[in-house]
Homo-oligomer: A and B are copies of this chain.
Amino acid sequence: MTDEPPPVIWARLSSQGRGPARTLDYRAITTAAIALADEDGVDAVSMRKVAGRMDHSPMSLYRHIGSKEDLTELMYDAVLGELDLTGIPSGSWRADVARLAGEMRRLHHAHPWIVRFGHRPSLGPNARRFLETGLACVDGLGLDIDGMLDLLSTALQFTRGFVVQELGEVEAQRRTGLDFAGYQRHTGPFITQLLQEGGLPYLRRLVLEAEDLPDPDVVFERRLGMVLDGLAAGIGRRG
């Protein structure tokens, strides 16, 4: 009888046994928590508030999920289910990987809070589906499984980094309750002061020469395109 840690959450989701009929289950809890996070931000997700939204007591949730950390994993996998993977693999690995990356980015915009939760490796049903579809897109190119993983992961890791930065700015605005103009008014004086002090030639060039309001979609597609170029070259060399 070793003191094992509890098994992976996905193996622990119980089904109805004896006892009173359930008025609650982990799916409903997850849905409520996601709605709360979407509406009021991730910091508003507390066991008490989630329970309150379902007209239940806080402790009732613990009959269905082991901990708040489990709940975040359920939330993450649940939103992965919103990925639209229809029509892929299509036969063109490059188009498919771009689709996957775009879908991932879209998902982060729909649920900005996942950048705070998605650090953990996940084995949920939707993560599994995503992995299967993703690897199917890069199959048949003459690569072994490690090469396929390189292709897919590199594109998605770039996407993740891009989105983290993108949402960092969005969230900073949301938290301070400012729109973009207000945010600029907020940081502007400080940047002006920095530039007057000198010694920051590239910050100066950024302020003076950089495109004013670059379309983030365009920037993403452009950079993703460069990443995919590099991956394509890698296939030629290894495949």
Say whether, besides A123-B190, A229-B229, A233-B233, A210 and B149 are in contact (CB < 8 Å): yes
Q: Does A85 contact B (CB under 8 A)?
A: no
**Interface 1/0s, chain A 109-152, versus B by CB < 8 A?**
00000011001110100001001100110010000111001100
Task: Point out the residues of chain B lying under 8 angstroms from A200, CB to CB.
Answer: 128, 132
Are the C-beta atoms of A203 and B157 separated by less than 8 Å?
A: no
How many chain copies? 2
Q: Does A82 contact B (CB under 8 A)?
A: no
Are the C-beta atoms of A226 and B233 separated by less than 8 Å?
A: yes
**What is the predominant secondary structure among interface residues of chain A facing chain B?**
helix
Q: Does A60 contact B (CB under 8 A)?
A: no
Are the C-beta atoms of B135 and A202 separated by less than 8 Å?
A: yes
Are the C-beta atoms of A158 and B227 separated by less than 8 Å?
A: yes
Interface residues of A in 32-79 (CB under 8 A from B): none
Point out the residue from B135, B156, B230 that lies within 8 Å of A161, measured CB to CB: B156
**Interface 1/0s, chain A 184-212, versus B by CB < 8 A?**
00110111011000001111011001110
Q: Does A107 contact B (CB under 8 A)?
A: no
Are the C-beta atoms of B226 and A178 separated by less than 8 Å?
A: no
Are the C-beta atoms of A190 and B145 separated by less than 8 Å?
A: no
Task: Point out the residues of chain B lying under 8 angstroms from A158, CB to CB.
Answer: 154, 157-158, 161, 227
Task: Point out the residues of chain B lying under 8 angstroms from A229, CB to CB.
Answer: 229-230, 233-234
Residues in A lying within 8 Å of B, measured CB to CB: 5, 7-8, 10-11, 115-116, 119-121, 123, 128, 131-132, 135-136, 139, 144-146, 149-150, 153-154, 156-162, 164-165, 167-169, 171-172, 176-178, 186-187, 189-191, 193-194, 200-203, 205-206, 209-211, 214, 219, 222-223, 225-231, 233-234
| 26 A-B pairs with C-beta separation under 8 A | A5-B177, A5-B178, A7-B189, A10-B190, A11-B189, A11-B190, A119-B164, A120-B168, A120-B172, A121-B168, A123-B187, A131-B202, A132-B203, A135-B202, A136-B202, A144-B209, A150-B219, A150-B223, A154-B223, A164-B164, A225-B230, A226-B231, A227-B227, A227-B230, A230-B231, A230-B233
